[in-house]
Copies of this chain bind each other. A is one copy, B any other.
Amino acid sequence: MDLSLNDEQSLIQSSVERFILNDYTFEQRQKIVAEDPGYSQEHWTTFAELGWLAIPFSEEDGGLGGTGVESMVLLEQFGRGIVVEPFIPTVVLAAGAIRLGGSTEQRKRFIPDIIDGKLQGALAFAEPQGRYDLHDLTTTATAKGDGFVINGYKAVVLNAPAADFLVVSARTSGSQRDTDGVSLFVLDARSAGISRHDFTTVDAMRASEITFENVEVGPDALLGAAGAGLAALQQVIDEGTFAVCAEAVGCVEVLYKDTVEYSKIREQFGQRLGSFQALQHRMVDMFMAYEQSRSLLYMTAAHLENGYDEQAQKHITALKVQIGKAAKLVGQEAIQIHGGMGLTDELSISHYFKRVTVIENMFGNNRFHLKRFGALAG
């Protein structure tokens, strides 16, 4: 039983920490998000050079063979910088589907270029009527020749505006809410029949609504066996959930620590805010929420080291609940204790708050995961 990082993991941690501190100040971030494409290609190249984009991939695929702990370490630091570069959409989600569901040929086709920072991807999985149910799909892929024709609509596809390739979930058989019959396809994001409505998100990311109209793909677009894609999709979403939780822990750390620091400087009625006992106790609650969230994050990572089994799934779902509650408490209190300044776009604190609010609504909110936790065995 050991929840500490090994030397290699600690090295990643300090390298990312240094990057955030030196090259990713809030001012720099704000410049990046103000202009298209909403992230820095230069940073993305740096991520590739530092090997960060290779972390989750097997050595066979040219990656570093990370187990989850390494991604966690990276994303916790990314959270501290509210990094907007699309690591989660491209590396964790879209490439994750290829990593888990793709053939050797498919992996070779995409993963080396992803690791080199040359490809951006997006996972188009959510539909308006489906909410958080991955299997609730009206998008269809109908066999045509040896390939498929995809028709349907996908909601809030993160990083789609920049994506070179898309991974799409579509139904090859069965009815809307069947768990069988779900297939995953990887395709060129500029394929004929794809139209996008691009938009900015409240947390300064870019995303799209995507319509698929008679999009024809070849047989090599299918990831894994037809109709059996739900398991891979579930695992990708679980890994994505774990990733946003790691990021949220980093955000929560900044939210609570910045608030404590602010309270030490800011004066009201001739007294430092931090000397008011009512606020002290509330900041202690923020600290406790952070500390416990981080602990559960690390315990979940330790389970993932054992493999993506039922215990790991159960811990990921528990973690999402814990982080969701902690982030809401800490975020709301951070704004409240910052007072008027906390409401402004000018201070970084509101941006952390918005990021954790979005994370709470991603991949299933608190109540969704509370129910899933109850339904999972173990």
Binding site for B on A (CB under 8 A): 276-278, 280-281
In the bound complex, residues from chain B placing their C-beta under 8 Å from that of A276 are: 277
What are the residues of chain B within 8 A of A277 when measuring CB–CB? 276-278
What CA separation (Å) do A278 and B280 show in the bound complex? 8
How distant is A123 from chain B, measured CB to nearest CB, in Å? 37
Smallest Cβ-Cβ distance to A284: which chain B residue: B278
A25 CB to nearest chain B CB (Å): 35
Tell me, rounded to whole Å, the shortest Cβ–Cβ distance linking A251 to chain B. Answer: 26
Of all chain B residues, the one with the shortest Cβ separation from A282 is: B278
> Roughly how many angstroms separate A10 CA and B167 CA in the complex, as a whole number?
73
Nearest chain B CB to A244 CB, angstrom units: 31
Name the distance in Å between A336's Cβ and chain B's nearest Cβ. 13
Q: Number of copies of this chain in the oligomer?
A: 2
Question: Looking at chain A's contact residues, is the secondary structure mostly helix, strand, loop, or mixed?
Answer: helix
Complex: how many Å from CA A280 to CA B276?
Answer: 11
| A166 shortest CB reach to chain B, Å | 42
Q: How far is the CA of A280 from the CA of B281 in the complex (A)?
A: 12
- The 6 listed contacts between A and B (C-beta, < 8 Å) are A276-B277, A277-B277, A277-B278, A278-B278, A278-B280, A278-B281
A60 to B11, CA, bound (A): 88
**Measured between alpha carbons, how far is A158 from B122 in the docked complex, in Å?**
65
Closest Cβ–Cβ distance, residue A367 to chain B (whole Å)? 15
Q: Compute how far the CA of A31 lies from the CA of B276 in the bound complex, rounded to whole angstroms.
A: 45
Q: What is the chain B residue whose CB lies nearest that of A275? A: B277
The CA-CA distance from A277 to B277 in the complex, in Å, is 6
A235–chain B nearest beta-carbon distance, Å: 35
A278 to B277 alpha-carbon distance, docked (Å): 5
Residues of B within 8 A of A280 (CB): 278
- List the 3 shortest-distance A-B pairs measured between CB atoms, nearest first: A277-B278, A277-B277, A278-B281
**C-alpha gap A218/B278 in the complex (Å):** 66
Q: Which of A276, A280, A281: most chain B CB closer than 10 A? A: A281
Q: Which residues of B contact A281 (CB under 8 A)?
A: 278
User: Least Cβ distance of A358 to chain B in Å?
Assistant: 30
Give complex CA distance A277, B276 in Å: 7
Closest chain B CB from A249 CB (angstroms):
27
What separation, in Å, do the CA atoms of A276 and B280 have in the docked complex?
Answer: 11
Instruction: Name the distance in Å between A350's Cβ and chain B's nearest Cβ.
Output: 24
| Complex CA distance for A203 and B241, rounded to whole angstroms | 48
**Separation in Å of the A272 CB from the closest CB of chain B?**
13
A101 and B280 CA atoms in complex are apart in Å by: 58
Query: Closest residue to A276 on the B side, CB-wise?
Result: B277
What CA separation (Å) do A352 and B277 show in the bound complex?
Answer: 29
Q: How far is the CB of A279 from chain B (nearest CB, A)?
A: 8
| Distance of A322 from chain B, by nearest CB (Å) | 23
In the assembled complex, the Cα of A278 lies from the Cα of B281 at a distance in Å of: 7
- What separation, in Å, do the CA atoms of A281 and B276 have in the docked complex? 11
Q: Return A293 CB to nearest CB of chain B, in Å.
A: 23
A128: shortest Cβ distance to chain B, in Å? 26
**A363 to B: closest C-beta gap in Å:** 28
CA A280 – CA B278 in complex, angstroms?
8
Separation of A148 and B369 alpha carbons in the complex (Å): 53
Give CA–CA (A278, B282) in the complex, Å.
9
Bound-state Cα–Cα, A277 to B282, Å: 12
| A27 shortest CB reach to chain B, Å | 36
Complex: A214 Cα to B359 Cα, angstroms = 64
Instruction: Find the B residue at minimum CB distance from A280.
Output: B278
Bound-state CA distance A276–B281 (Å) is 11
